[in-house]
């Protein structure tokens, strides 16, 4: 079975150790929201950069590769690649973790616009936004598993 959270099996393990509410997504996100700030940062940092090195050297998880391809991130022009690379670097420099967005709910232009806009946020806002986006990614992955 594909992992719901990038390189972070602890989230599912903790959710499985609790009584279920009957809403798997809510149970999983409760674990994430109750995690320590260090654990939340580790979860965020487990995600690959969009159109980054992992996409080039083929070390993305199957789920991430498919999701990035759905937004066209596997078919960037050299100019688009440079734009993503520059924004990824600026974002990581400012916040200390990769930019996360649920790419299945947007497209290349939307992702680039969000990257630029979110660079103006403070770190706490971006941590909360990244956790929310991870929640959307997991919700869609759960829906795929149920289909």
User: Which residues belong to the active site?
Assistant: 47
**Among candidates 112, 117, 119, which has minimal Cα distance to 79?**
112
Cα dihedral 112, 99, 96, 117 sign: positive
CA–CA dist 141, 37 (Å, integer): 24
Residue 32 exposed, middle or buried by CB count within 10 Å (0-12, 13-18, 19+) = buried
């Amino acid at each position: 079975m594909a992992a719901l959270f990038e390189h972070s099996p602890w989230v599912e393990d903790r959710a499985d150790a609790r009584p279920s509410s009957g809403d798997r997504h809510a149970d999983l996100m409760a674990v994430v929201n109750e995690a320590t700030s260090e654990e939340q940062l580790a979860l965020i940092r487990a995600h690959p950069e969009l159109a980054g090195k992992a996409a080039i050297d083929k070390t993305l998880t199957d789920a991430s590769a498919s999701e990035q391809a759905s937004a066209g991130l596997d078919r960037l022009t050299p100019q688009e690649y440079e734009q993503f690379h520059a924004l990824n670097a600026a974002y990581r420099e400012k916040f200390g973790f990769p930019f996360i967005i649920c790419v299945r709910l947007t497209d290349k232009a939307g992702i680039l616009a969000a990257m630029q806009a979110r660079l103006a946020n403070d770190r706490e806002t971006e941590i909360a936004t990244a956790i929310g986006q991870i929640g959307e990614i997991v919700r869609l992955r759960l829906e795929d598993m149920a289909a």
